[in-house]
């Protein structure tokens, strides 16, 4: 397939844009593969790409029950950052951010990664101390981060609610300048195109309905389009993890499925050129502006478990009031759309990229509401784990073993109360 380039745009423009090729092959399933990846979200597609690119394993199928990017990969608010605190997460998310920084060039596809900076507001001296501690740890690990006082923050984002009469008077913010946003669809399409170019089959409208084993060894999957055999099967199905794990006989996992909503306003003129967030304690709210001008924002999880990809009214009103509280000017803006995705909430707020107790079955899950930023490193590490039957250094703490030995990583995890993340 030809490379995208300025020359291609000129050529296509002069010839009526008639000869663009489809970005990836819409493949039909073969009877067997070396590796099957279940789930055509960002993580599944990235895994297939890195299997082919980094490990030379190209006889790979990505099996998706709907259309690629129709799950959380195409429903999220696209915040990318690496301001994590705990060993295990710190190095993993920084590895991801480094991959993001070169992703458009690597995939030859503009994923619209915009390093516009991420501001995490604080409102009390206690919150400030906790965040300073987190950023000191980041800086000790070579990750950028700085503390902004109220005046510095005001010069960066003048239209926050700085009134001392506000319910939450702002004291300052922690800032990561290399963080930002990317275009979710472009990330899925970019990985799909690059993987397909390397020989990976992307099979849409094909649901995995069961698993085929032979003497304790997984040898393939049953699908709505027939049986497909493989030596290795990787699961990257986010909110559907528990359902499929049950079918595979993995037993109960420390994961619950919860809904998370996102909201987009009508497009407005440039209003916000960074990502602004405030978290746990006083509520939870995050906002950025898309390239089309819409204000993209969200808040906490809905309060009950569900597989419905739509949200409920109480959270909707809660998020709207958080928006008004932080940026009163938004009160005049009309909301255009709202939807939800199903989050695979792990009990310690951290993910799994791991082998399982079933030979031939590998698990990628537990992304909570932070898996978009993880997409490149998740695919990179999952591919390594599948290819070598062992984790890479970067994901060695992200295995299921931590739940066997009691060495949980706690990253704003609230144990059995995932809805409080």
Ligand X SMILES: Cc1cc2nc3c(=O)[nH]c(=O)nc-3n(C[C@H](O)[C@H](O)[C@H](O)COP(=O)(O)OP(=O)(O)OC[C@H]3O[C@@H](n4cnc5c(N)ncnc54)[C@H](O)[C@@H]3O)c2cc1C
Which residues of the shown chain bind ligand X in the complex (CB under 6 A)?
Answer: 38-44, 63-66, 70-73, 75-79, 207-208, 236-240, 244, 260-262, 298, 341, 367, 369-373
For the CB of residue 359, give the shortest distance to ligand X in the complex, in Å: 21
Which whole-number Å values give the CA distances from 290 to 52, 179, 187, 209, in the listed order?
32, 15, 15, 37
Shortest distance, position 165 Cβ to ligand X, whole Å: 31
Q: Which helix (H) or strand (E) holds 252?
A: none
What minimum distance in Å lies between the beta carbon of 133 and ligand X?
22
Q: Give yes or no for a contact between 293 and 269, defined as CB atoms under 8 angstroms apart.
A: yes
**Centroid of chain to Cα 327:** 26
Would you say 236 or 363 has its CB closer to ligand X? 236
| Cα–Cα distance, 96 to 100 (Å, whole number) | 6
Q: Which is nearer to ligand X, 202 or 244 (CB)?
A: 244
In this complex, which beta carbon is closest to ligand X, that of residue 192 or of residue 238? Answer: 238
By beta-carbon proximity to ligand X, the closer residue of 153 and 208 is: 208
264 neighbors 295 (Cβ within 8 angstroms)? yes
Shortest Cβ distance from residue 37 to ligand X (Å)? 10
Residue 309 near residue 75 (C-beta atoms within 8 A): yes
Could you give the angle at the alpha carbon of 24 between the alpha carbons of 2 and 264, nearest 5°?
110
Minimal distance, residue 380 CB to ligand X, in Å: 14
CB distance 352 to 400 below 8 Å: yes
Q: How far apart are CA 146 and CA 369, in angstroms?
A: 24
Q: Find the shortest distance in angstroms from Cβ 290 to ligand X.
A: 12
Q: Distance of CA 277 to CAs 75, 100, 303, 323, Å?
A: 18, 21, 20, 10
Smallest separation, CB 142 to ligand X (Å)? 21
Nearer to ligand X, 341 or 360 (CB): 341
If the CB atoms of residues 277 and 387 are measured against ligand X, the closer one turns out to be 277
Taking the complex as a whole, the smallest distance from the CB of residue 253 to ligand X amounts, in Å, to 15
Which spans in 141-183 are helix H? 150-156
Closer Cβ to ligand X, 78 or 104, answer by number: 78
3-state secondary structure of 328: helix
Q: How far apart are the C-alpha atoms of 156 and 153, rounded to whole Å?
A: 5
Cβ of residue 419: shortest distance to ligand X, in angstroms?
14
Q: Which is nearer to ligand X, 70 or 283 (CB)?
A: 70
Spacing of C-alpha 371 from chain mean position: 3
User: How far apart are alpha carbons 335 and 411 in whole angstroms?
Assistant: 32
Q: Using CA atoms, how far apart are residues 258 and 118, in angstroms rounded to an integer?
A: 25
Q: CB-wise, 76 or 89, nearer to ligand X?
A: 76
Cα-based distances in Å from 263 to 98, 107, 113, 162, 413: 28, 29, 20, 24, 24
């Amino acid at each position: 397939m030809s490379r995208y380039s300025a020359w291609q745009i000129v050529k296509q423009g002069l010839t009526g844009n008639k000869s663009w090729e489809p970005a990836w092959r819409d493949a039909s399933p073969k009877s067997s593969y070396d590796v099957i990846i279940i789930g055509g979200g960002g993580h599944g597609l990235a895994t297939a790409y890195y299997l082919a690119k980094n490990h030379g394993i190209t006889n790979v199928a990505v099996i998706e029950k709907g259309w690629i990017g129709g799950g959380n990969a195409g429903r999220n608010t696209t915040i990318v950052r690496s301001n994590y605190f705990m060993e295990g997460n710190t190095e993993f998310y920084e590895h991801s951010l480094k991959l993001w920084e070169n992703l458009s060039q690597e995939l030859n596809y503009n994923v619209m990664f915009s390093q516009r900076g991420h501001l995490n507001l604080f409102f009390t001296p206690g919150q400030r101390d906790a965040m300073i501690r987190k950023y000191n740890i980041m800086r000790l690990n070579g990750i950028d981060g700085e503390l902004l006082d109220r005046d510095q923050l005001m010069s960066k984002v003048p239209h926050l609610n700085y009134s001392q009469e506000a319910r939450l008077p702002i004291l300052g913010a922690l800032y990561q300048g290399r963080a930002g946003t990317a275009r979710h669809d472009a990330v899925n399409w970019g990985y799909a195109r690059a993987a397909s170019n390397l020989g990976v089959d992307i099979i849409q409208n094909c649901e995995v309905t069961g698993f085929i084993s032979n003497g304790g060894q997984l040898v393939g999957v049953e699908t709505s389009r027939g049986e497909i055999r493989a030596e290795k099967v990787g699961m990257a199905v986010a909110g559907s993890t528990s359902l499929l794990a049950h079918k595979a006989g993995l037993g109960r996992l420390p994961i619950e499925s919860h809904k998370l909503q996102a909201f987009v306003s009508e497009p407005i003129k440039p209003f916000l050129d960074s990502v602004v967030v405030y978290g746990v304690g006083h509520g939870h709210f995050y906002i950025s502006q898309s390239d089309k001008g819409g204000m993209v924002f969200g808040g906490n999880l809905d309060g009950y478990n569900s597989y419905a990809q739509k949200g409920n009214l109480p959270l909707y009103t809660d998020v709207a009031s958080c928006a008004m509280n932080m940026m009163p000017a938004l009160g005049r803006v009309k909301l255009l759309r709202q939807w939800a995705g199903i989050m695979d909430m792990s009990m310690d707020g951290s993910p799994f990229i791991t082998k399982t107790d079933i030979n031939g079955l590998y698990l990628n899950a537990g992304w909570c509401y932070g898996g978009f930023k993880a997409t490149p490193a998740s695919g990179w590490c999952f591919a390594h784990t599948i290819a070598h039957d062992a984790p890479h250094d970067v994901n060695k703490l992200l295995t299921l073993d931590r739940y066997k030995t009691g060495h949980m990583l706690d990253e704003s995890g609230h144990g059995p109360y995932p809805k409080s993340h």
